Each structure stands twice: as C-alpha cells, then as structure tokens.
Amino acid sequence: MREKKLIFDYYNQNIKKNVNEIDLTGLIDDRNKKLWDEIRAKQSVQVQPSDNGGYAVLTSNDEAIVYFDDNNRDPAAFTHELLHIKERTNYFHKNVYIKDNETLICDTVL
C-alpha cells in the first residue's frame, strides 16, 4: 500500500496533467463513452502514455491513473482498464489465485 502512495505522490508532484491536455482519440469511442463519463463523475481519472508501451491502471481512494500505449491506441484495451476502475469504485474485487496449476477465483465485496 505504501508503494501506491509513493507512486501517487510522485505523480501528483511531477507529472500530473489535466485529462483535457491528453488527446483521447482512439481510446474513447461510442462503445465506451458512457462508461468513461460514469467513472469520471465519481472520481478523478488521469490518462498518461505508458513508458513501457502497455495498458495499465493504478487506483488509490478516489484517484485513478490509466496508462495507455500511445503507438497502439486501442479502445478495447482502454475499456478493459476502465472496467478495473469501475470494479474498484464499486468495492468489488476479484482475486485470482493459482495453486498447483489450478485457478481459483474468489469474489470479494468489501
């Protein structure tokens, strides 16, 4: 948990940008716009190009940072990250454990 706080502290002090400064072309389309608007109404969402060329999301309390591949803007991949935010916003987490080549899924509502 401390690592997340350190990442958010660094982000807030050094690279925080208004989401309006990022061109969202190729990330948001008519299929995920409603989800994007719903999430942004509930919490702060920042969007940043990824350093490693992938998609990821980091959430903490009422903030989220979505990282995207600027060379491969994919609305499906972006939507996948938005769904992670929605799950966490709704306090629903799915924990996946792998033990002896068997996948065990445990749904947890906090």
pLDDT score of 26 = 96
Tokens of 100: 């002896």
Buried b (16+ CB within 10 A) or exposed e, 83-100: ebbbebeeeeeeeeeeee
Instruction: Quote the CA–CA distance of 35 and 57 in Å, as a whole number.
Output: 15
pLDDT tens across 42-71, in order?
888 999 999 888 999 988 777 889 999 999
Q: CB–CB of 32/39 below 8 Å? A: no
- Asked whether the predicted pLDDT for residue 23 surpasses 80, the reply is yes
For the chain, what is the mean pLDDT?
Answer: 76
The full set of domain ranges for the chain reads: 2-109
In the numeric block, the tokens 């990250």 are attached to 81
Read off the pLDDT of residues 79-93 as tens digits, 9 standing for 90 and up: 999 999 988 876 554
Task: Note the pLDDT of residue 87.
Answer: 84
